[in-house]
Amino acid sequence: MSIDVSTAVSSAPVIKRGIFRQILRNPLAVASSVVLLIVVVVAILQPWIMPFPPQQVTLRLTNAPPFTSHYILGGDKFGRDILSRLIAGTRGAVIAALILASIALAIGVTFGLIAGYFGKIFDSISSWIFAVLIAAPGIIVLIALYTLIDVSTPLAMATLGVLSSPGIFYLVRTLTMTVRNELYVDAARVSGLSNFRIVGRHVLLAIKGPIIILAAFLSGGAIAVSAGLEFLGLGDPKDPTWGGMLNDAFTNYYIASWQLIWPGAALGIATAAFVLLGNAFRDTLEGAFVRPSARARRRQIASLIDETAVAKTLGASATAAALGTSVPDAALLDIEDLQICYAPNNELTTVVDGISLKVSDGEVVGLVGESGSGKTQTVFAALGLLPEQAIVARGSIRLGGVELLGMPEQRISHYRGTTMAYVPQEPLSNLDPSFTIGSQLVEGIRVQTTMSRRDAKQLALSTLARVGIRDPKRTFASYPHEISGGMAQRALIAGAIACKPRLLVADEPTTALDVTVQAEVLDLLRDLQRETGMGVLVVTHNFGVVADLCDRVIVMRTGKIVEEGPVSEVFANPQHEYTRQLLAAVLDETETRERTPRATSVLAS
Amino acid sequence: MTDAPLLTTSHLDVAYGRGRKRNAVLRDVSISIAPGETLGLVGESGSGKTTLGRAVLGLVPASGGTIGFDGSDITTLGPRGRRRLARDIQVVFQDPYTSLNPAMKIRDILTEPLIAQGIRSREANARVKELLDRVAMPENSLDRYSREFSGGQRQRVAIARALALNPRLIVCDEPVSALDLSTQQRVLDLLIEIQERTDVAYLFISHDLAVVRRISHRVAVMFKGEIVELGDAAAVTEHPQHPYTRRLWAANLVTDPEEQARRRALRHELEAEELEAVESK
């Protein structure tokens, strides 16, 4: 049901570029990339840019405060230049991050892809091995290694890389399993691609985002962990390292506490840069929707349109009280001059352009159009289901004579709930998989009425029986995955009609169903309508549904109504060119194809 | 060219799971398709029609019976044989949103099958332009991603990919079900035009009797894993014999309200008959 929304929003000419170019538009990402670049450049150029050799001792400058001598950042407790040692330590940090991340990636990605793509025995064996790895306590293993054998920091980082690989492995394995079932992977197999090529090109390309993010976090972590090990005094104490400097400063704390600042800042900045870069990647890849504040929304809508649009879109304002007036003897649903816009990047796109429609008591109206016609947006506005980004620019929606636009949210939902009910398109995705059908029906009934739990259950059971479910008790106790799509749609219809609404809004109620089930659900809707005399508004792209069910039809195209009238008249004698085109596109009684002589002989054989 | 069928399945069985959990999806399915012919395959969801297509494509293994292509048995083909067969058998899937890799440009999507078959990239690039032209897509689509196109345009790209290797059979798995009405008709017309020009055969899978009627020479009706009716498109879609096909026909909506009311009445009659038959048993 979000399809129409996304087409509406994406109809603006926004061309998405590659993720790296998108990342560059994020200031935080640019800043952290620059920091990381500087760190790497310093690490490479360090022999040439260090002002003094890092081990050179000048006793006169022992614990020299910063900015007082030619030791710019001061001297440490042995009289060595802190700046030089800081620069020298960069290399260790970069190498630690590089080794840990690349080893973890190499192992985790390779085995994750194999286990996820080929499954079966590959999956069981590698999952078992990585489960053992994940159980190994990293730091303790490292300290043991340092004590037992004389380990260098790179080797320690490599070990840590192996120990961190399960995180990558499980991520890659899960992602690969999802992608493996995508149709484009099947298409690639049918195209004759080797498994190696499919994994390398299709799978890896599709899952690269989360891997990049995790690798950035791991690299940041690697710097912190290596510093931690050096701080503990593991590794070669002669090598100038950030962790070693921290330790020197720590033991010197009561004499020159400021010495902690420099290595601490270096560590903090480098680690933060990695983590922030990872975050920026995540935001870009997952398209984080930054929800603007109500005030920002108000200002945006007011500047794009005007103050009344603010009240109509956001409701509950001072002017809204005046809007919530009631008109006697009105139609059941009366939409007048409704305009709905979206403003991606502050450019206004209109998806519903000043449409008016009425549904009377006992009337069945079909709203037809192709995707992007605005039909779903129109009924979503009436149902109060418009996405947050939508702007109601002007118009009015009256339900039983009461204006809904601008009404405070609480009153509106109560009012809608008791008067109007909704049957969605995808029955199974509109049921919560973790609750039984029964509990969802009872909850719906109790929100709308003051019924006791027992009465609500009775009502739910009798309604389930009414919508043609043969064993209501069993369906009541079932979870959504235990029933078929047709049954789920019946259950949702039961939920919709349980509280006897005056208006039933159905959005493509049969599109996801098989033809035979579709016919049965249409029968059900027709019977229920006759029995209760409720008004029905059916949104559909299928003219057959309209022909089967509706009294009146409204044809929409690109946000406007092009034609409306009684079904028999419009279908027999369509006035608008677009209606004629659509009706002509229906493959009712088309000629079948001429058989080729060759095909005939095959049939005869 | 001979009169021999291009594709045959004889007594094909497909089952998932083993032992007690074994679940037969296809039972004793025998069909044949001649070069240049469209065999329509209708049935409801879960009837096994998609599984038949996937079995022909080698995406699910057969558990009994044989699949023959151009005179040779392809039921249990190794990976290398399958890759060779890719030149001859191709596919267009239902959902153009997930059948094109979102991370790849149209150019790469289209050249990939060519390069996989050892065609040089320069030749492949030249061929790709011709392919786009054949499915009536502008040449500047090449350097764009699939998400920049509508459903109908994406389906054209998917058809172009299927045509890249000049296949002799294309399995079309509900290729127009996700499309708007007018787009649906244009894509069907394109498929028919391509068939007339290249003599490619289609196994056309759909739940929509009207769509199948439009494109097929012959129609097979599948119900619970078995073919219950097979014959000329006009015969099957106008005078169905099997009770299931008749019910399917009556459930198919038409746009004439009066005709639709007649069909509804007929469907109710058929349902009542069936109920009686069940009860008398």
Q: Which of B101, B110, B176, B177 to mutate to test the interface with A (most CBs of A within 10 A)?
A: B101
C-alpha B128/C-alpha B125 separation (Å) is 5
- Chain B touched by A253 (CB under 8 Å): no
Lowest mean pLDDT among A123-132, A320-329, A587-596, B195-204: A320-329
Chain A residues closer than 8 Å to B258 by CB: 568
* CA–CA dist A275, A271 (Å, integer): 6
Per-residue pLDDT, A425? 84
Paired sense of beta strands A560-566 and A349-359, if any:
unpaired
Q: Report how far residue A393's alpha carbon sits from residue A391's, in angstroms, rounded to the nearest whole number.
A: 6
What integer is the mean pLDDT of A156-184? 90
Give the contacts of B42 (CB within 8 A, at least 6 positions apart): B49, B206, B207, B208, B209, B212, B219, B220, B221, B222, B248
Q: Return the DSSP state at A75.
A: B
In this predicted structure, what is the pLDDT of residue A597? 43
Q: Match 């229920």 to its residue by tokens.
A: A528
Which residues of chain B from 221 to 280 reach within 8 Å of chain A, CB to CB? Answer: 232-234, 237, 247-248, 250-258, 260, 264, 267
Q: Which candidate in A205, A587, A591, A600 is best for mutational testing of the B interface (most B CBs within 10 A)?
A: A587
pLDDT band at A594 (very low <50, low <70, confident <90, very high): low
Per-residue confidence (pLDDT) for residue B204, from 0 to 100? 96
- Residues A540-565: pLDDT tens digits? 988 889 999 999 999 999 999 999 99
Say if the Cβ atoms of A592 and B99 lie within 8 Å. Answer: no
pTM for the structure as a whole: 0.80
Pairing of strands B23-33, B226-232: unpaired
DSSP per residue over A124-169, as a string?
HHHHHHHHHHHHS-HHHHHHHHHHHS---HHHHHHHHHHHHHHHHH
Residues in contact with B118: Cβ distance below 8 Å, sequence separation at least 6, in sequence order:
none
Residue A399 tokens read as: 């339900």
pLDDT at residue A600, as a whole number? 43
CB contact under 8 A, A547 and B255: yes
Q: Which of residues 94-153 of B touch A (CB under 8 A)?
A: 94-95, 98-104, 112-113, 116-117, 144-145, 147-148, 151
Task: Tell me the percentage of chain B whose pLDDT exceeds 90.
Answer: 37
> CA-CA distances (angstroms) from residue A369 to A168, A366, B34?
47, 10, 39
Q: Answer whether A590 sits within 8 Å of B213, measured CB to CB.
A: yes
User: Are B204 and B40 a contacting pair, CB within 8 Å?
Assistant: yes
Q: Which residues of B touch A593 (CB under 8 A)?
A: 38, 192, 214-217, 233
Confidence category of residue A176, pLDDT binned at 50, 70, 90: very high
User: What radius of gyration do chain A's Cα atoms show?
Assistant: 34
pLDDT digits (tens, 9 = 90+) for A374-430: 898 999 998 888 888 888 888 889 888 888 887 777 777 777 777 889 998 888 888
Give which of B83, B126, B90 is closest to B200, Cα–Cα: B90
Say if the Cβ atoms of B98 and A183 lie within 8 Å: yes
CA distance B226 to A97: 60
- Chain A window 472-511: which residues touch B at a Cβ cutoff of 8 Å? 485
Measured in angstroms, the CA of A518 and the nearest CA of chain B are apart by 8
| pLDDT tens for each residue of A477-520 | 999 988 888 889 999 999 999 888 999 999 988 887 888 888 98
CB contacts, 8 Å: A598 with chain B: 1, 3, 34-37
The token pair at B77 is 């083909």
Secondary structure of residue B45 in the 3-state scheme: coil
Looking at beta carbons, which residues of chain A come within 8 Å of B235? none
Phi, psi of A161 (to 5 degrees): -60, -45
DSSP secondary structure of A377-444: HHHHHHHT---TT-EEEEEEEEETTEE-TT--HHHHHHHHHHHEEEE-S-TGGGS-TTS-HHHHHHHH
**pLDDT of res. A287:** 61
- Do B221 and B244 form a contact (C-beta atoms < 8 A)? yes
The rounded Cα A102 to chain-centroid distance in angstroms is 29
Which amino acid type is present at position B247?
R
Q: How many CB atoms neighbour CB A390 within 10 A? A: 21
Q: How does residue A303 score in pLDDT terms, banded at 50, 70 and 90?
A: confident
Question: Which residue does chain A place closest to B195, by CA atoms?
Answer: A596
pLDDT band for A112, please (50, 70, 90 cuts). Answer: very high
| Band of pLDDT at residue A595, cut at 50, 70 and 90 | low
Q: Does any CB of chain B come closer than 8 Å to the CB of residue A181?
A: no
Q: To the nearest whole angstrom, how far is the Cα of B166 from the nearest Cα of chain A?
A: 12
Strands B226-232 and B218-223: antiparallel
Residues in chain B with CB shorter than 8 Å from the CB of A546 are 255
Q: Concatenated DSSP letters for A16-46?
A: ---HHHHHTT-HHHHHHHHHHHHHHHHHHHH
In Å, what is the CA distance from A6 to each residue of A375, A510, A559?
A: 14, 21, 15
Residue of B nearest to A519 (CA): B251
